[in-house]
């Protein structure tokens, strides 16, 4: 087939395609709407996730905080942490259970969740 004929067929195919509403919608209108929607949508979701992560304050448990009031006060002033204070000795209470701590012969053992990604 000559180059001229290829050109003629190409022009005819293009004319036909441009007059077909279904082809037009699926190749031009849908991408035109979908691409901005996807770009903006994904961007917004990412930003909101990042903001949420930034707002979240890490939990810090201080054992025997009563012995170091200055350190505790400094940490409190910093406001970067969600502070929990526990006495070094004591009975198993609701807060210690909730945190997964166990008292072993009057000493605190490693919490069961230690080393995992998230505190309870």
Partner 1 sequence: MIEARGLSKRFRDKKRGEIRAVESVSFRCEPGKIYGLLGANGAGKTTTLRMLATILEPTDGTALVCGYDIVEQPEKVRASVGFLSTATALYPRLTAQEMVEYFGRLNGLDEPTLKKRVDDIFKRLDMDGFRDRRCDKLSTGMKQKTSIARTLIHDPPVMIFDEPTLGLDIMTARTIIAFIRECRDLGKTVIFSTHVMSEVEKLCDVIGIIQGGELLAEGSLPQLRDKYAERDLEEIFVKIVAPHYVQAEAS
Q: How far is the CB of 3 from partner 1 (least distance, A)?
A: 13
Contacts of 113 (CB under 8 A, 6+ apart): 100, 119, 120
| 8 contacts partner 1 (rule: CB under 8 A) | yes
> Do residues 58 and 83 lie in contact, with contact meaning Cβ atoms separated by under 8 Å?
no
Question: Residue 73 is encoded by which pair of tokens?
Answer: 């006060």
Closer residue to partner 1, CB minimum distance, 10 or 113: 10
Element of type H or E holding 30: helix 30-55
Q: Which runs of consecutive H residues, i.e. helices, occur in 56-101?
A: 69-78, 94-99
Q: Which residue in the set 10, 20, 33, 42 belongs to the binding site for partner 1 (CB under 8 A)?
A: 20
Total chain residues near partner 1 (CB under 8 A): 8
Q: Which residue in the set 16, 30, 40, 42 belongs to the binding site for partner 1 (CB under 8 A)?
A: 16
Closer residue to partner 1, CB minimum distance, 20 or 74: 20
| 9 contacts partner 1 (rule: CB under 8 A) | yes
Contacts of 70 (CB under 8 A, 6+ apart): none
Q: Which residue in the set 3, 5, 94, 117 belongs to the binding site for partner 1 (CB under 8 A)?
A: 5
């Amino acid at each position: 087939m000559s180059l001229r004929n290829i050109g003629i067929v190409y022009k005819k195919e293009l004319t036909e395609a441009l007059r077909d509403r279904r082809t037009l919608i699926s190749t031009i209108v849908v991408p035109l709407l979908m691409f901005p929607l996807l770009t903006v949508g994904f961007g917004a979701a990412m930003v909101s996730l990042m903001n949420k992560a930034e707002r979240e304050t890490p939990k810090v448990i201080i054992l025997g905080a009563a012995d170091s009031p200055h350190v505790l006060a400094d940490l409190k002033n910093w406001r970067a942490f969600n502070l929990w204070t526990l006495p070094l000795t004591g009975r198993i209470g609701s807060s210690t259970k909730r945190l997964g701590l166990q008292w072993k012969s009057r000493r605190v053992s490693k919490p069961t969740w230690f080393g995992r990604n998230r505190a309870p």
